[in-house]
Amino acid sequence: MSENKLVEMSFEFAKCIVNLVDGIKAPKSSYMIDQLARAGTSVGANIHEAQYAHSKADFIAKLEIALKEANETSYWLKLMAETGRINEDQRQEAERLCGTIRRLLIASCSTAKSNQNK
């Protein structure tokens, strides 16, 4: 899968997260909503930024940050579902996208590291 596909998919994921957090009505959850929004939208921002990296090492570093943010997003999705802030269907849909992006990031990082050593 091309890097552009990863950019596009991560942008769709960011829109999913924005729409999800905009629909949350629990007033005392603002700290969790903020964390989910920041982590979820940071995935795509870092993937996009990687496209303009200064070096292969910078490219890898940006993708690894995106992977960490995707993992953090999964945490917030699970916590918010298990505390009733979002429903399980919402969590599963967002997690499906997040999981796909994580797998692509792992593969991209692995390929980039392998190419860096050549």
Widest Cα–Cα separation across the chain: 53
Contacts of 57 (CB under 8 A, 6+ apart): 116
* Residue 56 vs residue 2, higher pLDDT: 56
- Encode pLDDT of 12-51 as tens digits: 999 999 999 999 987 787 899 999 999 999 999 999 999 9
Residue 13: partners with Cβ closer than 8 Å, 6 or more residues away: 40, 43, 44, 94, 97, 98, 101
pLDDT digits (tens, 9 = 90+) for 100-118: 999 999 999 999 999 887 6
15 versus 2: which is more confidently predicted?
Answer: 15
Query: What is the per-residue pLDDT across 40-98, written as a single tens digit (0 to 9) for each?
Result: 999 999 999 999 999 999 999 999 999 999 999 999 999 999 999 999 999 999 999 99
Domains of the chain (ranges; CATH) run 3-116 (1.20.1440.60)
HSE, side-chain direction, 13 A CA sphere, residue 43: 37
Tokens of 93: 């849909």
Question: Residue 79 corresponds to which tokens in the numbers above?
Answer: 């916590």
Q: Identify the band that residue 1 occupies on the pLDDT scale cut at 50, 70 and 90.
A: very low
Q: List the structure tokens of 14.
A: 């960011």
> What pLDDT, on the 0 to 100 scale, is given for residue 2?
53
**Distance between CA atoms of residues 67 and 108, nearest Å:** 10
Run of H or E including 6? helix 3-22
pTM of the model: 0.91
